[in-house]
Structure 1
Amino acid sequence: MEQSQLVNLVEQMTLEEKIGQLTQITGDFYSDKAEERTGPMSQLGLNDDQIMNVGTVLGVVGASECKRIQKNYMEHNRLHIPTLFMGDVIHGYETIFPIPLGLASSWDTEAFRRMAEVSAEEASVSGLSVVFSPMVDLVRDPRWGRVMESTGEDPYLNGRLASAMVKGYQGEPGDLSTQFNKVAACVKHFAAYGAATGGRDYNTVDMSEQRLRDVYLRGYEAAIEAGARLVMTSFNSIGGVPATGNLHLMQDILRSEFGFDGVLISDFGAVKELIAHGVAEDETQAADLSIHAGVDIEMMTLCYMHTLVGLISSGTVSESIVDESVLRILELKNELGLFEHPFRGADEDREKTVVFSAEHREIARRTAAESIVMLRNDDSLLPLDAERSIAVLGPGAQSPDVLGAWSWRGRTDAAVTLLQGLQELAADGEDEGRRPSVVTTQERCDYFVPTKSVVSESIELAKQSDVVVLALGELSTMSGEASSRSNIRLPKGQVELFEAIHEVNPHIVVVLFNGRPLDLHDIDGAEAILEAWYPGTEGGAAIADVLFGAVNPSAKITMSFPESVGQIPIYYDEDNTGRPYEVAPNEKYVSKYLDVSNYAAFPFGFGLSFSHFTYDSLVSSSNSFSATEPVTVSVNVTNDSNVDGTEIVQLYIRDLVGEVVRPVKQLKGFKRVALAAGESRRIEFSLTEEDVRYVHLDCTMRSDPGDFLVSVGGNSRDLLDPLHLHLD
Structure 2
Amino acid sequence: MSVRSSRFPRLALALLLLSLLSACATRQSPGGLDPVSLTRIESLIARMTVEEKVGQLSLYAPAAVDTVGNPQGARQSEEEQLAEIRAGRVTGLFNNEGLEGKRRAQQAAVKGSRLGIPLIFGADIIHGFRTVFPVPLAEAASWEPALAERTAHASAVEATADGFRWTFAPMVDIARDARWGRGIEGAGEDVYLGRQFAAARVRGFQGPELGRADAMLATPKHFAGYGAAEGGLDYNAVDLSERTLREVYFPPFRAAIDAGALSIMSAFNEIGGIPSNANRALLTGVLRDEWDYQGFVVSDYTADEELIAHGFAADGREAARRAFMAGTDVSMQSGLYMKYLPGLVASGEVPMSRLDDAVRRVLRVKQRLGLFDHPFRGLEDTPGPRFDAAAHQGLAREAAGRAIVMLRNDNDVLPLQKSGKRIALIGPFAGTEDLFGPWRIFPGQQAPMGIEQAVRQSLASPDLLTVVRGSNVETPIPGGIDAAVAAAREADVVLLSIGENEQMSGEARSRSDIEIPDAQQALAEAVAATGKPVVVLLRNGRALALRGAVRNARAILVTWFLGSQTGPAIADVLFGDINPSGRLPVSFPQTPGQVPYYYAHKRTGRPQLADAPATFYKARYLDATNDPAFAFGQGLGYARVRYDALEISPARMDWNGKTTVRARITNTGQRDAEEVAQLYIGNRAASVTRPVRELKGFRKLRIPAGQTATVEFTLTRADLTFIGQQMTPTVEPGQFDLWVGPSATGGLRTSMTLAPGD
1:491 aligns with 2:517: yes
Deviating above 6 A after TM superposition, structure 1's stretches of 4 or more consecutive aligned residues are 42-47
| 1:175-207 deviations in Å (ceiling 9; x for gaps) | 111x21111101100001000011000011101
Partner of 1:382: 414
2:471–2:523 CA contact under 8 A, matched in 1? no
Alpha-carbon distance change, 350 to 156 in structure 1, aligned in 2, over 3 angstroms: farther
* 1:370 aligned onto 2:370: no
State the AA in 2 paired with 1:40.
R
Give the counterpart letter for 2:255 in structure 1: A
Map 1:433-448 onto structure 2 (within 5 A): 437-441=464-468, 445-448=471-474
Residue of structure 1 in register with 2:425 after alignment: 392
1:577 corresponds to: 604
Change (3 A) 1:347 1:672: farther
* Equivalent residue number for residue 139 of structure 1: 175
Check if 1:663 corresponds to 2:663.
no
The 8 Å contact of residues 159 and 223 in structure 1, kept in 2 or not, is answered as yes
| Distance (Å, rounded) in 2 between the aligned partners of 1:44 and 1:194 | 39
Q: Provide the C-alpha distance between the structure 2 equivalents of 1:16 and 1:39, rounded to a whole number of angstroms.
A: 16
Please, which of 264, 268, 278 is the counterpart of residue 235 of structure 1?
268
> What residue is the counterpart of 2:106 in the other structure?
70
Q: Report the Cα distance in structure 2 between the residues aligned to 1:304 and 1:711, rounded to whole angstroms.
A: 52
Q: Deviations over 1:29-74 (max 9, x none)?
A: 699xxxxx99932799978236752001111113343223212332
Q: Classify 1:39/1:164 alpha carbon distance in 2 versus 1 (closer, same or farther; 3 Å).
A: closer
- Alignment counterpart, residue 27 of structure 1, candidates 57, 62, 66: 62
Residue 561 (structure 1) aligned with residue 588 (structure 2): yes
CA offsets 1:492-518 (integer angstroms, 9 cap, x no match): 110111112122243111101111111
Q: 1:400, CA displacement in angstroms?
A: 2.3
1:23 is matched by which residue type in structure 2? S
Q: Contact between 1:463 and 1:504, CA under 8 Å: does it hold in 2?
A: yes
8 Å contact kept, 2:432–2:448: no
Aligned to 2:292: 259
Task: Determine the C-alpha separation between the residues in 2 that align with 1:509 and 1:657.
Answer: 44
Contact 1:187 1:223 in 2 (8 A): yes
Q: What CA distance in whole angstroms lies between the structure 2 residues aligned with 1:213 and 1:45?
A: 44
SS at match of 2:639: coil
Match of 1:518 in 2: 544
What are the ranges of 5 or more consecutive residues in structure 2 without an aligned counterpart? 1-35, 67-71
Number of equivalent positions: 712
Match of 1:617 in 2: 645
Q: Cα offset for 1:423?
A: 1.6
Q: Which of 338, 347, 354 is residue 321 of structure 1 equivalent to? A: 354
**Alignment check: 8 A CA contact 2:671 2:705 kept:** yes
- 1:544 corresponds to which of 552, 571, 578: 571
1:702 and 2:736 equivalent? no
Match for residue 192 of structure 2? Answer: 156
Query: How far 1:77 sits from its partner (Å)?
Result: 1.3
Matched residues in 1 for 2:730 and 2:137: separation? 30
Indicate yes or no: 2:627 matched with 1:599.
yes
Distance 1:594 1:578, change over 3 A: same
- Counterpart of 1:536, as a letter, is G
Structure 2: how far apart are the matches of 1:245 and 1:465?
A: 60
Map residues 429-508 of structure 1 onto 2, 5 A cutoff: 437-441=464-468, 445-508=471-534
Deviation (angstroms), 1:353: 4.3
Change in 2 beyond 3 A, CA 1:502/1:411: farther
Match of 1:60 in 2: 96
Q: Secondary structure at the match of 2:220?
A: strand
Q: Percent identity at matched positions?
A: 39
Shift in Å at residue 358 of structure 1?
1.0
Looking at structure 2, the residues matched to 78 and 191 of structure 1 have their Cα atoms a distance apart, in angstroms, of: 38
Q: 1:611 corresponds to which letter in structure 2?
A: A
Secondary structure of the corresponding residue to residue 414 of structure 1: coil
Q: For residues 645-704 of structure 1, what are the alpha-carbon distances to aligned partners after superposition, in whole Å with 9 as ceiling and x for unaligned?
A: 100000000111111100101000000000000110111100111001011121111211
Alpha-carbon shift at residue 5 of structure 1 (Å): 1.3
| Contact residue 626 and residue 688 of structure 1 kept, 8 A | no
Correspondence 1:674 to 2:706: no
Give the TM-score taking structure 1 as reference length: 0.95
Amino acid at match of 1:17: E
Name the aligned partner's letter for residue 47 of structure 2.
Q
Aligned partner of residue 396 in structure 2, secondary structure: helix
Query: Residue type of the partner of 2:392?
Result: H
Which deviates further from its counterpart, 411-420 or 325-334?
411-420
- 1:14 and 2:49 correspond: yes
2:39 counterpart letter in structure 1: S
Change (3 A) 1:44 1:634: farther
Output the CA distance in 2 between the equivalents of 1:635 and 1:601.
Answer: 26
Alpha-carbon separation, structure 2, partners of 1:580 and 1:39: 54
Residues 727 and 383 of structure 1, relative CA distance in 2, 3 Å threshold: farther
1:575–1:662 Cα contact (<8 Å) kept: yes
Q: Matches of residues 264-279 of structure 1 in structure 2 within 5 Å?
A: 264-279=297-312
1:82 aligned residue: 118
The worse-fitting range, judged by mean Cα deviation, of 656-665 and 619-628 is 619-628
Q: Secondary structure at the match of 2:529?
A: helix
The residue aligned with 1:176 is 210
**1:16 aligned partner, one-letter code:** E
- Match for 1:108: what amino acid? E
* Offset, 1:128: 0.4
Aligned residue number for residue 716 of structure 1: 744
Query: Counterpart amino acid of 2:603?
Result: N
Q: 2:450 aligns with which of 417, 422, 427?
A: 417
Give the CA deviation at 1:220: 0.5
For residues 727 and 101 of structure 1, what CA distance do their matches in structure 2 show? 39
| More divergent stretch after superposition (91-100 vs 645-654) | 91-100
Q: Please, which of 107, 112, 124 is the counterpart of residue 143 of structure 2?
A: 107
Structure 1 residue runs of 5 or longer lacking an equivalent are: 32-36
- 1:8 alignment partner, SS class: helix
Instruction: Determine helix, strand or coil for the equivalent of 1:85.
Output: strand
When the two structures are superposed, what TM-score results if normalisation uses the length of structure 2? 0.91
In structure 2, what is the Cα distance between the partners aligned to 1:116 and 1:456?
A: 45
User: CA RMSD, aligned part only?
Assistant: 2.1
Matching residue's letter, 2:179: R
Partner of residue 40, structure 1: 75
Q: CA deviation at 1:99?
A: 0.8
**Aligned letter for 1:454?**
G
Contact 1:439 1:461 in 2 (8 A): yes
Paired residue type of 2:313: A
Residue number among 176, 180, 199 corresponding to 2:232 in the alignment: 199
**Could you tell me how far apart the structure 2 residues matched to 1:374 and 1:350 are?**
44
- In the alignment, the residues of structure 1 paired with residue 196 and residue 665 of structure 2 have an alpha-carbon distance, to the nearest angstrom, of 23
Q: How far apart are the structure 1 equivalents of 2:39 and 2:456?
A: 62
Return the alpha-carbon distance in structure 2 between the equivalents of residues 462 and 512 of structure 1. 18
2 CA distance for matches of 1:401 and 1:82? 38
Q: Distance in 2 between matches of 1:479 and 1:130?
A: 24
Say which of 248, 260, 280 aligns to 1:247. 280
Preserved CA contact (<8 Å) 2:73 2:333 = no
Shift of 1:629: 1.1
The aligned amino acid for 1:184 is L
| Deviates further, 603-612 or 399-408 | 399-408
Task: Give the C-alpha shift of residue 389 in structure 1.
Answer: 1.0
State the shift of 1:347 in Å.
Answer: 4.2
- The offset of 1:412, in angstroms, is 7.0
Q: Quick check: 1:90–1:149 contact (8 Å CA) kept in 2? A: yes
- Secondary structure of 1:652 counterpart: strand
Measured in 1, the distance between the counterparts of 2:172 and 2:499 equals 25
Partners of 1:170 and 1:47 in 2: CA distance: 29
